[in-house]
Each structure stands twice: as C-alpha cells, then as structure tokens.
Amino acid sequence: MNKDLAHIAKVMYDLQEYCRYIDEINDNGYCDGCTFVFDHHKCKLIKLTKDNKIPCDNWNITKADIERLEKENDD
C-alpha cells in the first residue's frame, strides 16, 4: 500500500513542481503554455485539489514526504 502511495506522491509532486514552474515563468498571472489549461485559462488539475486552488498553491508535497513513504514501504 505504501508503495502505491509513494508512487502517487511522486506523480503529484512532479505535477506540483511543473505547475510552480509554469507559474514562475509567466508573469501575467495565467498559466500560458501549460498542458492542463483549457478554455481560457481554466486548469484541469483544480478538480484534483480542495478549495479550488492550483496544485502549486495547494498540495505542498515535499521530497521528504516521498522519502518517508518509501522508507515505510521498505520496513
């Protein structure tokens, strides 16, 4: 089970960091060029978050979280 959680956390972390990157390179407040944007800057990933925020503002997954899940899997 923790192996699956670690894998999911890695995927979410990558999406979160991608989102953060796109947000940083675009100073206009929009996620221009993002794969997950559709219909005039609506984010498909918002459906996966609570409080209708973009992943880089909401998930707060760290590499330490992933390492902890991987370690728990090894035990």
pLDDT in tens, 13-71: 998 998 888 888 877 767 777 888 877 667 888 777 777 777 777 888 999 999 999 99
Closest CA to 67 of 17, 13, 21: 13
Report the first-to-last Cα separation within the chain, whole angstroms.
Answer: 12
For residue 40, the model assigns a pLDDT of 64
DSSP 44: G
Task: Locate the domains of the chain by residue range.
Answer: 2-74
For residue 9, the model assigns a pLDDT of 92
